[in-house]
Structure 1
Amino acid sequence: MAKIIEAFVDERGHLHTSPASAIVADIAAILGRVGDEGGLTSGVAALILEKRDAIEKAFADYDMLKSSGATIIDVSDRLRFQSHAE
């Protein structure tokens, strides 16, 4: 006999039994293939969801630094900035 179930749909239209599973699938799709044959993608996506608070804080910090007019340098500029400080 048919019964009603609760399911969650990811962006591709696949059904999942939990919201976390649907979000992990969406993040994995955004990331694309990570590792040989894409075997790491789901694990990386699950870690992103698990570490969400820390990742969101890092992005908030980045946005604040970027909007404050602070100079953002890449690693190759690090040595140039260190020599000016000395």
Structure 2
Amino acid sequence: MEYFQQAIATWKNKPGIGLFIHALKSGQKPSLTKPGCGWKEWADEAIKLRLMQYSQSHNGDIMVHFVGGGQGLWSRLRSLSWSEVERFINGGEVK
């Protein structure tokens, strides 16, 4: 139910039904790190921090392409702090 509420709050114009179904099937929990906690908020912040260059759909997930050439799946990145995302981008260990 939390995912449904989060989807409604986040995907106002075009529901991310594929991401929603993938999250439910894989048993992911809603992200509670920020208000909204959806893709738009995360992507806006990543762009503001000059971390993300662009993104694209990838097997029901979102592949995030970083400035400098790295990439990662949003389903893995979304629960990380921004310092952990930066460590991930630089090839460091992420716990």
- TM-score, normalization: structure 1? 0.30
Larger radius of gyration: 1
Going by fraction, where is strand more abundant, 1 or 2? 2
Higher relative contact order by CA 8 Å / sep ≥ 6: 1 or 2? 2
